[in-house]
Amino acid sequence: MKKMTALFTTAAMSLTALFGCANAFAEEGAGDVWTGEIEPVVVTLLNAGTDNPYLDQVAEKLNEYLGDKIGVEVSFRQVSIFNAASQYTMWIGGGETVDLLTIAYAPVSAFTGMNMLEPLDDLLQYAPHIQELAEEGYAIYCPSADGHIYGIRTLNPPVSNGDGMYFWKEDLEEAGLEYEDNQLVTLEDIELIVSKVKELHPDAYVGVYGSAPRSGFTIEADPLGANITSGVILGTESTEVVNYFETEEYQDYIKLLRKWYEEGLVKKDAATTDALEGGSMTNDPENCRMMWNEYNTGIIASYEEATGKEVVALRTAKRNQNALTDTDCYTGIPVTCEHPEAAMRFLDMMYSDMFVENTCYFGIEGVNFDYTDETKTAYVANPDNGFWALGSGNRMLEPMQGVYKEDTVQKYDQFAEEINSSPTKGYGFLYDPANMTNQITAIDAVLQEYRAALETGSADIDTVYPEFIKKLKANGIDDVIADKQAQFDAWLAEN
C-alpha cells in the first residue's frame, strides 16, 4: 500500500475542489482541443426506479460543452438501481453496446467471474486525472483477485465511522449544560444530557429506529471494505478482526438503549418503525429532541433549515478514514464496449471537470437545479423538475446542498482534515467474501431477526443478547472472521 503522506498533504486541494474554488482538475474547459474522430459513448445512469425525463437534454448540454475537448458524444441509458446488476448481465450477455457501467451494491467479482468487464490497466493512460488522484493516495481502483483493475470507485468526501448524537442548542442552554458543537464526549456525557432534556421536556424521546440501526455512530469500527457481518477492526492501530457484536463497545450501547427504553426515552414501537413513521428531529422537532447521527455538515444544515433551530452535534467516537468498498458505487467498462478509449476519456472528465460531474449528477442548471452563490459552492434542487441519479465520478467536485454558509464550509474542512489524517490499518484493503457467501447470508438473517430490537432497547438483554450471539456463532460468524483475518494478514505482509 502506498503511504498516505501524499493524501494528507493534498487534502486541502481536494476540499477546495469540493467547494467550487479553482484548481487544476476543476477548471471547466481544461484540456487540449481534440482534432480526432468524435466517437459515441453510451453511459448507464442509475435511478431510484423512476426514469428521468431530462436525460436527452442533459446529454445535449454535455455534448455542447464537450465539443472538441475529448472526442466524445455521450448518450445515456438509464436503469433502476434495484435491478441494474441483472439488467447489465442481460445486456452484456446479449452483446448490446454499452460503454460505461455505473455499478452499485455488486462486487467486481460478480462481473469478472462471467468475463463481462474489461481490465482497465492499459486504458488508464487515457485517464490522467484518475491516475493522478490514485497517485495522491486515493484508493479509487477496485482491486480484484487476479491483480487487474476492473472498476474506478466513486470518489466520495471522506468516509467516516463513529460520530454521535444531535441535540437542539436551546435544550443544552436551558439545561445549563456547556457543550460545543463537534465536541468529543463520552456515553456518560450523552446519558447526562438526555436525562436533563427529559426532565425539561417530559414528552421528549430519542430518535432511534429499527429500520436503521445506529450503534455504528458510537463505535470506531472499520469493517475493512465489507459489512460488519464479517468482522471489524477497532480504532486506528488494531489489526485484529473481531466480532462487532461481541465488543464491549457494542454491549455498552445496547445496555444504554435498554435503559432509555425502560425510562420512556425510546418509543415502544421503535423496533418496527423508521424515521418518517416514528418521528424525527425534522418532522417532530418539539418531541424528538435528540438523535444518533453522523457528523455531516450537509445533514446538520438541512435540520437547521427545516426547523429554524440550531443543532449541536456531539461525537462519541473519533473519526477515522476507513477501508473503502467496491460494492457502493464504481464504474467499469464492459466487454461489449465499442470505444473503450473514448469511454475512458469521458470517465476521466467525471473525475476532473465540475460541469461534467455536476451535470451528470444534478441535471441542467436553471432547469433541474440552481447554484445559490456566484462561486457555485452550494445549490438547491428544483422540486418541480426533479432529477435524481446515483452519484458517480468525483463527488468532491460537487457543491453542497442548500444555502452557502461560511461556518458550514469551515466545519467540513475540520471534519475532512481529521478523517484524512487518521487512517485505520485497513485503509486500502478490501475483503473478498466469495468463500463465505453462504455463512454471510445466514448471519444476515440472524441480524434481521435480532438487531432492530437490541439496538432500540426493545429486547431484554439478559435473555435475548446471549441467544443472539449463540445464533451468530451457530451460523458461522467465527469462520467468516477467520477468513477475513487471513486475507487481511496476507495483505498487511505485502504492504
Give the pLDDT of residue 29.
Answer: 43
366 and 260 both lie in a single domain? no
Indicate whether 175 belongs to any domain.
yes
69 and 193 both lie in a single domain? no
171 and 154 both lie in a single domain? no
SS3 19: coil
Half-sphere exposure of 320 (CA within 13 A, CB side): 27
Indicate whether 83 belongs to any domain.
yes
In the numeric block, which cell numbers belong to residue 364?
441542467
35 and 94 both lie in a single domain? yes
Q: How far is CA 17 from the centre of its chain?
A: 19
Give the pLDDT of residue 26.
Answer: 36
Indicate whether 468 belongs to any domain.
no
User: What is the rounded CA–CA span in Å between residue 198 and residue 266?
Assistant: 11
* pLDDT tens, per residue, the chain with 495 residues: 332 323 322 233 333 333 333 233 333 444 568 888 999 999 999 887 788 899 999 999 999 999 889 999 999 999 988 788 889 999 999 988 899 999 887 778 888 888 999 999 999 999 999 999 998 877 788 877 688 999 998 887 654 555 789 999 999 999 999 999 889 999 999 999 999 999 999 999 999 988 888 898 888 899 987 888 899 999 999 999 999 999 999 999 999 999 999 999 999 999 988 877 778 999 999 999 999 888 777 678 778 888 999 999 998 888 787 876 655 689 999 999 999 999 999 999 999 999 999 999 899 999 999 998 888 888 888 888 888 787 788 888 888 776 666 666 676 677 677 777 888 999 878 788 888 989 999 999 999 999 999 999 999 999 999 999 999 999 999 999 999 999 999 999 988
Q: CATH number of the domain that 380 lies in?
A: 3.40.190.10
Which of 370, 399, 420 delimits the end of a domain?
A: 420
Q: Tell me which residue range forms the domain holding 290.
A: 164-223+234-315
- Which sign does the torsion angle of CA 274, 276, 281, 284 carry? negative
144 and 216 both lie in a single domain? no
Give the pLDDT of residue 4.
Answer: 31
Give the pLDDT of residue 412.
Answer: 66
137 and 178 both lie in a single domain? no
User: What is the rounded CA–CA span in Å between residue 332 and residue 152?
Assistant: 7
Indicate whether 48 belongs to any domain.
yes
Indicate whether 403 belongs to any domain.
yes
356 and 310 both lie in a single domain? no
306 and 384 both lie in a single domain? no
Helix axes 461-474, 437-455, angle to 10 degrees: 170
24 and 93 both lie in a single domain? yes
171 and 296 both lie in a single domain? yes
Indicate whether 116 belongs to any domain.
yes
Which of 351, 386, 420 delimits the end of a domain?
A: 420
297 and 383 both lie in a single domain? no
Indicate whether 330 belongs to any domain.
yes
Give the pLDDT of residue 5.
Answer: 28
Indicate whether 374 belongs to any domain.
yes
Give the pLDDT of residue 325.
Answer: 60
Give the pLDDT of residue 16.
Answer: 30
243 and 311 both lie in a single domain? yes
Number of domains in the chain: 2
User: What is the rounded CA–CA span in Å between residue 345 and residue 342?
Assistant: 5
Helices and strands (DSSP H and E) totals, the chain? 16, 15
Give the pLDDT of residue 9.
Answer: 28
